[in-house]
Amino acid sequence: TQLLEQSPQFLSIQEGENLTVYCNSSSVFSSLQWYRQEPGEGPVLLVTVVTGGEVKKLKRLTFQFGDARKDSSLHITAAQPGDTGLYLCAEIANAGGTSYGKLTFGQGTILTVHP
Amino acid sequence: DAGVTQSPTHLIKTRGQQVTLRCSPKSGHDTVSWYQQALGQGPQFIFQYYEEEERQRGNFPDRFSGHQFPNYSSELNVNALLLGDSALYLCASSLGARADTQYFGPGTRLTVL
């Protein structure tokens, strides 16, 4: 079973600061997704990365997939209080090139952005 | 267009009891996956239903069972509840066999006393 490690576990910053959270694995990811979860809600998909070295941007969020597809990072520029939440990375189980939609999640990074 | 809905929102049970949680998928979706999320942890995959059959299962005991109905809605049943079953139970819906873009419901918070 793929184990995903996220770091840091907790992050508390002031509005306007930049931050990076990481997701690592001991083996190669087939494809990786990042989610954000707010209290009382389910996770919401932010991005899917598939190709090694891939970089995707979503407004102030930048997602990178490592060249070897064993790590990924999420960078937030000029964080805002609305960015507060639990950030989760997840791998989609892939058997023989077909995704069966079984997500394996990391333990998450709890981000708090203070006004 | 309604998203994924789950009921009930909160539930309190005692050890040994049985519970049934319900999920209605996003309109047009035919695949439902269930996850358990303990406090401070990421969700863990329980099982997935497609075409009314359990297609794959995570590392959960047989006390956890499910069902998918012809309208694609789904139920999660847990028998002989343990204190450790206290968690947020999330349902996610998706379209087709690949199921690689999943939409999560708000979850059911189960507390076992």
Report pLDDT digits (tens) over A24-43: 998 888 889 999 999 889 99
Q: Is residue B32 a contact partner of residue B24, using CB atoms and an 8 Å limit?
A: no
pLDDT at position A101 is 79
Residue A98's pLDDT band, with cuts at 50, 70 and 90, is low
Instruction: Point out the residue among B48, B90, B105 whose CB comes nearest to the CB of A101.
Output: B48
Instruction: Point out the residue among A1, A88, A93 whose CB comes nearest to the CB of B42.
Output: A88
Burial B9-33 (b: 16+ CB within 10 A, else e): eeeebeeeeebebbbbbbeebbbbb
CA distance B71 to A5: 37
Decide if pLDDT at A94 tops 70: no
Report chain A residues whose CB lies below 8 A from the CB of B45. Answer: 102-104
At B97, list the tokens: 């066999």
Taking 50 as the pLDDT cut, the residues of chain B under it are none
At A115, list the tokens: 């006004």
pLDDT at position B40 is 87
Report chain B residues whose CB lies below 8 A from the CB of A31. Answer: 100
pLDDT at position A29 is 84
Decide if pLDDT at A96 tops 70: no
pLDDT at position A43 is 97
Residue A95's pLDDT band, with cuts at 50, 70 and 90, is low
CA distance B106 to B28: 19
CA distance B91 to B34: 5
What percent of chain A lies above the pLDDT cut of 90? 77
Q: Is B46 exposed, middle or buried (0-12, 13-18, 19+ CB in 10 A)?
A: buried
Cα B54 to the center of its chain, rounded Å: 12
Chain B touched by A101 (CB under 8 Å) = yes
Interface of A with B in 37-96 (CB under 8 A): 40-45, 48, 88, 90, 92-93
Q: B78 forms bridges with which residues in the sheet?
A: B19, B64
Decide if pLDDT at A2 tops 70: no
* Neighbour tally for B35: CB within 10 Å: 27
pLDDT at position A97 is 54
In the predicted model, what is the mean pLDDT of residues A67-74? 94
pLDDT at position A100 is 74
In the predicted model, what is the mean pLDDT of residues A8-25? 97
pLDDT at position A40 is 87
At B98, list the tokens: 């690949």
Dihedral Cα A95, A98, A100, A105, nearest 10 deg: 70
